[in-house]
Amino acid sequence: MVWVDGELRYPASSRDIDTSDKGIDWLPVHELGKHLADDTFYHSLSPTQRDFWDKVVFLMGKTGH
């Protein structure tokens, strides 16, 4: 993840690999906490996805975002 022009970009976004993101519901980063606080949503994620998003939340807190 990297901050670019005020946007948190994922390691391989559709822009980076020139693919379509049609049909994907993107979650705005500023709403991340609300969704991760929902136990049903959080526990529906795979362990790898939970670990990734936990790291995103940690990074955002560490950098004051």
Q: How confident is the model at residue 16 (pLDDT cuts 50, 70, 90)?
A: low
Place of tokens 């004051």: 64
H-type alpha helices, the chain: 14-17, 32-36, 39-44, 47-62
Model confidence, pTM: 0.49
Is 10's pLDDT higher than 80?
Answer: no
Confidence (pLDDT) at 32: 76
3-state secondary structure of 17: helix
Determine the longest span between alpha carbons in the chain, in angstroms: 34
Is 52's pLDDT higher than 80?
Answer: yes
